[in-house]
Protein backbone atom coordinates (compact mmCIF):
# COMPACT_ATOMS: atom_id res chain seq x y z
CA UNK A 1 0.00 0.00 0.00
CA UNK A 2 1.51 3.37 -0.98
CA UNK A 3 2.44 5.77 1.81
CA UNK A 4 -0.07 8.60 2.15
CA UNK A 5 2.25 11.46 3.06
CA UNK A 6 -0.58 13.96 3.40
CA UNK A 7 -2.10 12.10 6.37
CA UNK A 8 -1.20 12.92 9.95
CA UNK A 9 0.92 10.28 11.67
CA UNK A 10 -1.30 10.06 14.76
CA UNK A 11 -4.84 10.65 13.47
CA UNK A 12 -7.20 9.87 10.64
CA UNK A 13 -6.95 13.41 9.35
CA UNK A 14 -4.81 15.31 6.89
CA UNK A 15 -1.74 17.14 8.10
CA UNK A 16 -3.24 20.33 6.72
CA UNK A 17 -6.38 19.91 8.84
CA UNK A 18 -4.32 19.19 11.95
CA UNK A 19 -2.26 22.32 11.27
CA UNK A 20 -5.45 24.41 11.01
CA UNK A 21 -6.67 23.05 14.35
CA UNK A 22 -3.27 23.68 15.96
CA UNK A 23 -3.30 27.28 14.77
CA UNK A 24 -6.79 27.97 16.11
CA UNK A 25 -7.33 25.71 19.13
CA UNK A 26 -5.97 28.18 21.69
CA UNK A 27 -8.00 31.04 20.24
CA UNK A 28 -11.49 29.56 20.03
CA UNK A 29 -13.67 26.98 21.78
CA UNK A 30 -13.06 23.32 21.07
CA UNK A 31 -16.74 22.87 20.22
CA UNK A 32 -16.74 25.69 17.67
CA UNK A 33 -13.56 24.38 16.09
CA UNK A 34 -14.96 20.85 15.95
CA UNK A 35 -18.10 22.12 14.21
CA UNK A 36 -16.01 24.19 11.81
CA UNK A 37 -13.66 21.36 10.83
CA UNK A 38 -16.03 18.40 11.06
CA UNK A 39 -13.95 16.42 13.55
CA UNK A 40 -14.86 15.19 17.02
CA UNK A 41 -14.42 17.51 20.00
CA UNK A 42 -12.11 14.97 21.62
CA UNK A 43 -9.91 15.05 18.54
CA UNK A 44 -9.60 18.83 18.86
CA UNK A 45 -8.77 18.42 22.55
CA UNK A 46 -6.10 15.84 21.83
CA UNK A 47 -4.50 18.00 19.16
CA UNK A 48 -4.57 20.96 21.55
CA UNK A 49 -2.91 18.96 24.32
CA UNK A 50 -0.20 17.76 21.93
CA UNK A 51 0.40 21.37 20.92
CA UNK A 52 0.58 22.47 24.56
CA UNK A 53 3.12 19.73 25.33
CA UNK A 54 5.20 20.91 22.41
CA UNK A 55 5.02 24.56 23.47
CA UNK A 56 6.03 23.60 27.01
CA UNK A 57 9.26 22.20 25.61
CA UNK A 58 10.07 24.90 23.08
CA UNK A 59 8.86 28.26 24.45
CA UNK A 60 11.18 30.04 26.87
CA UNK A 61 10.62 33.57 28.15
CA UNK A 62 13.28 35.97 29.38
CA UNK A 63 13.64 35.84 33.18
CA UNK A 64 12.26 39.10 34.64
CA UNK A 65 14.57 41.56 36.34
CA UNK A 66 11.53 42.97 38.16
CA UNK A 67 9.10 40.19 39.02
CA UNK A 68 5.54 40.31 40.28
CA UNK A 69 3.93 37.43 42.18
CA UNK A 70 0.23 37.25 42.87
CA UNK A 71 -2.76 34.96 42.86
CA UNK A 72 -5.79 34.85 40.59
CA UNK A 73 -8.90 32.73 41.12
CA UNK A 74 -9.12 30.54 38.02
CA UNK A 75 -10.94 27.29 37.25
CA UNK A 76 -11.96 26.56 40.82
CA UNK A 77 -8.75 27.45 42.62
CA UNK A 78 -6.21 30.13 43.42
CA UNK A 79 -3.36 30.06 40.91
CA UNK A 80 -0.02 31.76 41.26
CA UNK A 81 0.80 34.16 38.43
CA UNK A 82 4.36 35.37 37.82
CA UNK A 83 4.68 38.58 35.82
CA UNK A 84 7.45 40.69 34.30
CA UNK A 85 6.76 44.14 35.73
CA UNK A 86 9.30 45.94 33.57
CA UNK A 87 7.50 44.88 30.39
CA UNK A 88 3.97 44.13 31.71
CA UNK A 89 4.01 40.52 30.54
CA UNK A 90 2.89 37.20 31.97
CA UNK A 91 5.96 35.07 32.65
CA UNK A 92 4.46 31.92 34.18
CA UNK A 93 1.37 30.50 35.81
CA UNK A 94 1.57 27.86 38.54
CA UNK A 95 -1.27 25.56 39.52
CA UNK A 96 -1.09 26.45 43.21
CA UNK A 97 0.50 29.13 45.38
CA UNK A 98 1.89 26.74 48.01
CA UNK A 99 5.57 26.53 48.84
CA UNK A 100 5.58 22.99 47.43
CA UNK A 101 4.82 24.53 44.03
CA UNK A 102 6.78 27.74 44.38
CA UNK A 103 10.12 26.48 45.69
CA UNK A 104 10.79 24.03 42.82
CA UNK A 105 9.85 26.76 40.35
CA UNK A 106 12.36 29.23 41.77
CA UNK A 107 15.00 26.55 42.19
CA UNK A 108 14.81 25.63 38.49
CA UNK A 109 14.34 29.19 37.21
CA UNK A 110 16.86 29.92 34.41
CA UNK A 111 19.15 32.88 35.07
CA UNK A 112 17.58 33.36 38.48
CA UNK A 113 20.43 35.64 39.53
CA UNK A 114 18.99 38.24 37.12
CA UNK A 115 15.96 38.89 39.35
CA UNK A 116 16.60 42.11 41.29
CA UNK A 117 13.14 42.96 42.62
CA UNK A 118 10.09 40.94 43.58
CA UNK A 119 6.81 42.75 44.19
CA UNK A 120 4.00 40.90 45.94
CA UNK A 121 1.48 41.14 48.75
CA UNK A 122 2.03 40.34 52.42
CA UNK A 123 1.43 36.60 52.15
CA UNK A 124 4.55 35.26 53.87
CA UNK A 125 4.91 31.98 51.92
CA UNK A 126 5.72 34.03 48.81
CA UNK A 127 8.81 35.47 50.48
CA UNK A 128 9.85 32.19 52.07
CA UNK A 129 9.56 30.51 48.68
CA UNK A 130 11.93 32.71 46.72
CA UNK A 131 14.35 34.03 49.38
CA UNK A 132 16.56 30.94 49.22
CA UNK A 133 16.81 30.79 45.43
CA UNK A 134 16.93 34.39 44.18
CA UNK A 135 20.23 35.64 45.63
CA UNK A 136 20.03 39.17 44.23
CA UNK A 137 16.32 39.82 44.69
CA UNK A 138 14.87 42.33 47.12
CA UNK A 139 11.22 42.16 48.15
CA UNK A 140 8.92 45.16 48.00
CA UNK A 141 5.36 44.91 49.28
CA UNK A 142 2.96 46.28 46.72
CA UNK A 143 1.67 49.75 47.57
CA UNK A 144 -1.85 48.81 46.50
CA UNK A 145 -2.12 46.11 49.16
CA UNK A 146 -0.77 48.43 51.85
CA UNK A 147 -3.06 51.42 51.28
CA UNK A 148 -5.99 49.07 50.76
CA UNK A 149 -5.75 48.26 54.47
CA UNK A 150 -6.35 51.93 55.32
CA UNK A 151 -9.50 51.89 53.20
CA UNK A 152 -10.61 48.70 54.95
CA UNK A 153 -10.01 50.34 58.34
CA UNK A 154 -12.18 53.27 57.30
CA UNK A 155 -14.88 50.83 56.18
CA UNK A 156 -14.90 49.23 59.64
CA UNK A 157 -15.41 52.64 61.21
CA UNK A 158 -18.24 53.42 58.78
CA UNK A 159 -19.98 50.14 59.61
CA UNK A 160 -19.75 50.89 63.34
CA UNK A 161 -21.61 54.11 62.72
CA UNK A 162 -24.01 52.47 60.28
CA UNK A 163 -25.37 49.88 62.75
CA UNK A 164 -26.79 52.70 64.86
CA UNK A 165 -29.11 53.80 62.03
CA UNK A 166 -32.50 52.61 60.85
CA UNK A 167 -32.62 50.10 58.01
CA UNK A 168 -33.58 52.79 55.49
CA UNK A 169 -30.80 55.10 56.65
CA UNK A 170 -28.27 52.23 56.58
CA UNK A 171 -29.05 51.56 52.92
CA UNK A 172 -28.58 55.24 52.09
CA UNK A 173 -25.31 55.42 54.02
CA UNK A 174 -23.93 52.34 52.32
CA UNK A 175 -24.84 53.58 48.85
CA UNK A 176 -23.66 57.16 49.19
CA UNK A 177 -21.25 57.64 52.07
CA UNK A 178 -19.22 54.50 51.36
CA UNK A 179 -18.12 55.62 47.92
CA UNK A 180 -17.65 59.22 48.97
CA UNK A 181 -15.22 58.25 51.71
CA UNK A 182 -13.36 55.55 49.79
CA UNK A 183 -12.68 57.74 46.76
CA UNK A 184 -9.54 59.85 46.76
CA UNK A 185 -10.27 63.61 46.91
CA UNK A 186 -8.71 64.18 43.48
CA UNK A 187 -11.24 61.76 41.96
CA UNK A 188 -14.34 63.41 43.44
CA UNK A 189 -16.62 65.51 41.28
CA UNK A 190 -17.58 69.02 42.50
CA UNK A 191 -20.96 67.65 43.59
CA UNK A 192 -19.28 64.83 45.49
CA UNK A 193 -16.95 67.29 47.22
CA UNK A 194 -20.01 69.17 48.49
CA UNK A 195 -21.67 65.94 49.61
CA UNK A 196 -18.51 64.84 51.42
CA UNK A 197 -18.33 68.19 53.23
CA UNK A 198 -21.88 67.63 54.51
CA UNK A 199 -21.01 64.10 55.66
CA UNK A 200 -17.92 65.35 57.47
CA UNK A 201 -19.95 68.02 59.24
CA UNK A 202 -22.80 65.72 60.26
CA UNK A 203 -20.72 62.68 61.25
CA UNK A 204 -17.57 63.98 63.00
CA UNK A 205 -16.37 60.49 64.01
CA UNK A 206 -16.41 59.31 60.41
CA UNK A 207 -14.71 62.52 59.34
CA UNK A 208 -11.81 61.78 61.70
CA UNK A 209 -11.48 58.24 60.33
CA UNK A 210 -11.55 59.63 56.80
CA UNK A 211 -8.68 61.98 57.61
CA UNK A 212 -6.64 59.09 59.02
CA UNK A 213 -7.22 57.14 55.83
CA UNK A 214 -6.17 60.03 53.63
CA UNK A 215 -3.09 60.89 55.69
CA UNK A 216 -1.99 57.26 55.49
CA UNK A 217 -2.35 57.33 51.70
CA UNK A 218 -0.26 60.53 51.69
CA UNK A 219 2.73 58.65 53.11
CA UNK A 220 3.30 57.31 49.60
CA UNK A 221 3.54 60.87 48.29
CA UNK A 222 6.77 61.39 50.21
CA UNK A 223 9.82 61.71 47.93
CA UNK A 224 12.23 59.48 49.85
CA UNK A 225 12.38 56.65 52.36
CA UNK A 226 13.35 58.66 55.43
CA UNK A 227 10.57 61.18 54.92
CA UNK A 228 8.10 58.34 54.36
CA UNK A 229 9.20 56.65 57.59
CA UNK A 230 8.91 59.96 59.45
CA UNK A 231 5.44 60.49 58.00
CA UNK A 232 4.37 57.03 59.14
CA UNK A 233 5.66 57.66 62.67
CA UNK A 234 3.81 60.98 62.81
CA UNK A 235 0.64 59.32 61.54
CA UNK A 236 0.94 56.50 64.08
CA UNK A 237 1.50 58.92 66.96
CA UNK A 238 -1.53 60.98 65.95
CA UNK A 239 -3.92 58.09 66.56
CA UNK A 240 -6.03 58.58 69.71
CA UNK A 241 -5.53 56.45 72.80
CA UNK A 242 -9.17 55.38 72.67
CA UNK A 243 -10.92 54.21 69.52
CA UNK A 244 -9.78 53.86 65.91
CA UNK A 245 -8.85 50.23 66.59
CA UNK A 246 -8.85 49.22 62.88
CA UNK A 247 -6.13 51.80 62.22
CA UNK A 248 -4.13 50.51 65.18
CA UNK A 249 -4.25 47.05 63.61
CA UNK A 250 -2.84 48.64 60.48
CA UNK A 251 0.08 49.99 62.52
CA UNK A 252 0.89 46.46 63.72
CA UNK A 253 0.74 45.11 60.17
CA UNK A 254 3.10 47.79 58.90
CA UNK A 255 5.57 47.02 61.69
CA UNK A 256 5.37 43.30 60.86
CA UNK A 257 6.40 44.04 57.26
CA UNK A 258 8.28 47.28 57.87
CA UNK A 259 11.43 46.63 55.84
CA UNK A 260 9.57 45.24 52.83
CA UNK A 261 6.95 48.00 52.78
CA UNK A 262 9.49 50.82 52.93
CA UNK A 263 11.65 49.12 50.30
CA UNK A 264 9.22 50.85 47.93
CA UNK A 265 11.46 53.93 48.15
CA UNK A 266 14.61 51.91 47.38
CA UNK A 267 13.30 50.68 44.03
CA UNK A 268 14.51 52.32 40.80
CA UNK A 269 10.96 53.37 39.90
CA UNK A 270 7.46 52.99 41.41
CA UNK A 271 7.19 49.27 40.81
CA UNK A 272 3.64 49.06 42.05
CA UNK A 273 2.18 50.97 39.09
CA UNK A 274 3.01 48.19 36.67
CA UNK A 275 2.07 45.58 39.25
CA UNK A 276 -1.43 46.96 39.82
CA UNK A 277 -2.08 47.47 36.12
CA UNK A 278 -1.02 43.91 35.38
CA UNK A 279 -3.03 42.45 38.24
CA UNK A 280 -6.19 44.28 37.19
CA UNK A 281 -5.72 42.94 33.68
CA UNK A 282 -5.30 39.40 34.93
CA UNK A 283 -8.45 39.67 37.04
CA UNK A 284 -10.38 40.79 33.96
CA UNK A 285 -9.01 37.80 32.11
CA UNK A 286 -9.91 35.37 34.88
CA UNK A 287 -13.49 36.63 35.01
CA UNK A 288 -13.89 35.90 31.31
CA UNK A 289 -11.73 32.84 30.73
CA UNK A 290 -12.67 30.96 33.88
CA UNK A 291 -15.94 29.67 32.45
CA UNK A 292 -15.91 26.06 31.42
CA UNK A 293 -12.18 25.57 30.86
CA UNK A 294 -9.72 23.46 32.80
CA UNK A 295 -6.78 25.15 34.46
CA UNK A 296 -4.39 23.60 31.91
CA UNK A 297 -6.25 25.10 28.95
CA UNK A 298 -6.61 28.52 30.58
CA UNK A 299 -2.90 28.50 31.34
CA UNK A 300 -2.08 27.62 27.74
CA UNK A 301 -4.43 30.26 26.33
CA UNK A 302 -2.75 32.81 28.61
CA UNK A 303 0.89 31.85 28.15
CA UNK A 304 0.90 30.94 24.47
CA UNK A 305 -1.37 33.48 22.78
CA UNK A 306 0.53 34.11 19.54
CA UNK A 307 -0.62 37.73 19.18
CA UNK A 308 0.17 38.67 22.78
CA UNK A 309 3.54 36.91 22.51
CA UNK A 310 4.32 38.89 19.37
CA UNK A 311 3.63 42.18 21.16
CA UNK A 312 5.56 40.95 24.19
CA UNK A 313 8.79 40.26 22.31
CA UNK A 314 11.71 42.50 21.49
CA UNK A 315 15.10 42.71 19.84
CA UNK A 316 18.27 42.70 21.91
CA UNK A 317 21.60 43.72 20.42
CA UNK A 318 23.68 40.67 19.56
CA UNK A 319 20.93 38.21 20.49
CA UNK A 320 18.16 38.81 18.01
CA UNK A 321 14.58 38.25 19.10
CA UNK A 322 13.86 37.97 22.82
CA UNK A 323 10.48 36.88 24.20
CA UNK A 324 9.33 38.33 27.51
CA UNK A 325 5.97 36.55 27.56
CA UNK A 326 2.45 37.48 26.47
CA UNK A 327 1.71 41.19 26.81
CA UNK A 328 -1.01 41.64 29.45
CA UNK A 329 -2.90 44.59 27.86
CA UNK A 330 -2.97 42.68 24.56
CA UNK A 331 -4.31 39.58 26.33
CA UNK A 332 -7.04 41.69 27.95
CA UNK A 333 -8.06 43.12 24.56
CA UNK A 334 -8.19 39.61 23.11
CA UNK A 335 -10.34 38.39 25.99
CA UNK A 336 -12.72 41.33 25.72
CA UNK A 337 -13.09 40.81 21.97
CA UNK A 338 -13.69 37.08 22.38
CA UNK A 339 -10.48 36.05 20.60
CA UNK A 340 -9.44 33.72 23.43
CA UNK A 341 -12.87 32.14 23.99
DSSP sequence for 197-217? HHHHHH-HHHHHHHHHHHHHH
Residue 311: predicted pLDDT? 80
Instruction: Look up residue 79 and give its DSSP letter.
Output: E
Q: CB neighbours of 250 closer than 8 A, spacing ≥ 6?
A: 149, 150, 153, 216
Domain's final residue, options 223, 258, 293? 258
Domain identity same for 138 and 152: no
Residue 96: predicted pLDDT? 86
In a domain, 83, yes or no: yes
Domain count, the chain: 3
Which stretches of the chain score pLDDT less than 70?
1-9, 163-175, 273-292, 312, 314-320, 341
Residue 66: predicted pLDDT? 93
Helices (H), the chain: 15-24, 30-37, 41-58, 99-107, 124-130, 143-162, 167-172, 178-182, 190-202, 204-217, 225-238, 245-256, 258-262, 271-289, 295-303, 306-311, 328-337
Residue 121: predicted pLDDT? 86
Residue among 339, 215, 244, 227 at smallest CA distance from 289: 339
In a domain, 107, yes or no: yes
- pTM recorded for the entire structure: 0.82
Residue 114: predicted pLDDT? 95
Range of the domain at 29: 15-58
Residue among 252, 184, 248 at smallest CA distance from 217: 184
Domain identity same for 299 and 152: no
Is there a contact between 305 and 26 (Cβ–Cβ < 8 Å)? yes
Domain identity same for 150 and 138: no
Amino acid sequence: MPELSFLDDKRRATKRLVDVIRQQCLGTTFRALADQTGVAVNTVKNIAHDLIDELEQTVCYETPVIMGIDEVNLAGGYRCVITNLATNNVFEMLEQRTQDHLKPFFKELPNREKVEWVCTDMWRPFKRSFAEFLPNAKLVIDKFHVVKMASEALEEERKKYQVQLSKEDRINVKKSIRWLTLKRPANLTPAEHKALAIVREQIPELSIAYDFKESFFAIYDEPDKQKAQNAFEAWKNSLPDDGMEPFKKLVKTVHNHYEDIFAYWDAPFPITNAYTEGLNGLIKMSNRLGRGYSYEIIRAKTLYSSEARKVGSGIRSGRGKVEYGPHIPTLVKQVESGELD
